Amino acid sequence: MKELSQNQTIAVHGIAGAGSVALATAFTYPLDTMKVLIQVGSSPGKQLDAAQALTRVVFLSGNAVGRTFGLGARFGVYEILTAFYKDGREDNYLFGSEALLAGMASGAIESVISSPFELIKLRMQVTSASYVPSSNIALENGAHKPLIARLLNGCYPDKRSLDLYTGLISTLTTKNTNVSSALLEYPWTMTGSGKPPSVSSVRRPSDIVSLEGWRTLWRGLRSGIARDSVFGGIFFSTWQFLHQTMLDWKAAGMNPPPRLNEEVGPLSPFTVSLTAGFSASVAAAASHGFDTSRSRSQCNVVPKYISMERKILKWKRPGNKFERITGIHPLDRNVLFRGIGWRMARAGLASSMIVGSYLFVADQLTSSLT
């Protein structure tokens, strides 16, 4: 009977957690899309404002699966680590420094798990608001389609750009009389502009793996781990501090004074959800620079042959030591805090909804079972 009750409790908390995460993700997804577009659409000299980003949004895409896995890992690992800290303590008290360390560890694990889902989601968001010129017409040359499809899957050169290339070198002496065919043998000219394909051309998982390789699914992992570690540490430590402060405030009016936190009684779900939202907003502001760096790096399409060249040439990451460790590109220094308001709003609203809906659903399910 005891095992049945324990299994029911675990099931209740699992259902409540999954439902609250899915609800909060769906509700705050438009804010996340606006934040992403402002981050990747800005440059050091010009910022993409909210009105411009809104006009680019054609439809919102993505799913909550990766978000559910990531948040589940964050809260699950945090609860496991804090259980070791509180083991043997009579009042189950948790210090702020312990919450900070546990939050940083849980954030790092969350980043590794959610990275592939986040990359696909981000590219779908950018694609949904990207304008693809109609002039990018594929060459109807069956002899070269297999080569292009193998190196740049689904991408063909712009006919006008290729004609420009041909005109520029037509005056040079060459052993190959068919200059256009010779140009098609070079991957860096296959897109017609000398640049890799756009994000809108490489957004599906099959296209990403075919063109860029499996490791691309974890691109920007350095900045992702830095972002989620900072976010998790500040979020849980701030939330723990505010939660303990509210318990002490509630206990101040009790007579006799409670000896343990359990004797104070539960706090209001509304108050707890507000403190979670505030903590998440503070954590989002502190970690936003790493979030911008990761978003911009995930929007860069780097074909496998370029990655191979970098590896052979022992290419070193640009920037100072801190930027190399955290994955920040030097060119992004002036845009790291673009869209910070949107991310603070999304993180605060999502955390409030997750905690509030979780407490409400768990309370309703527990009441129905008893």
Radius of gyration of the chain (CA): 26
**In the chain, domain spans:** 2-132+214-369, 145-197
DSSP-assigned letter for residue 215: G
Q: What average pLDDT is seen over the chain?
A: 74
pLDDT tens-place string over residues 223-238: 999 999 999 999 999 9
- Cβ–Cβ under 8 Å, residues 175 and 109: no
pLDDT (0 to 100) of residue 137: 40
- 234 near 103, Cβ under 8 Å? yes
Percent of the chain with pLDDT over 70: 64
What CATH code would you report for 2-132+214-369?
1.50.40
Can you give the pLDDT of all 370 residues of the chain as single tens digits?
444 444 444 444 455 455 566 666 666 766 777 677 777 765 555 555 555 454 444 334 444 566 677 777 888 888 889 988 888 787 778 888 999 999 999 999 999 988 998 898 888 878 776 654 444 444 444 444 445 545 555 555 555 555 655 555 554 455 555 555 555 555 445 444 456 677 777 878 888 888 888 889 999 999 999 999 999 999 999 999 998 888 888 888 777 878 777 777 778 888 889 999 999 999 999 999 999 999 999 888 888 877 887 888 888 888 899 999 998 988 888 889 888 998 999 899 988 888 888 777 767 766 666 5
The 8-class DSSP code of residue 176 comes to: -
Tell me the CA distances in angstroms from 225 to 115, 117, 230, one per residue in order: 10, 15, 8
* Residue-wise pLDDT tens digits, 57-115: 433 444 456 667 777 788 888 888 998 888 878 777 888 899 999 999 999 999 998 89
Closest CA to 316 of 330, 304, 336: 330
Per-residue confidence (pLDDT) for residue 304, from 0 to 100:
82
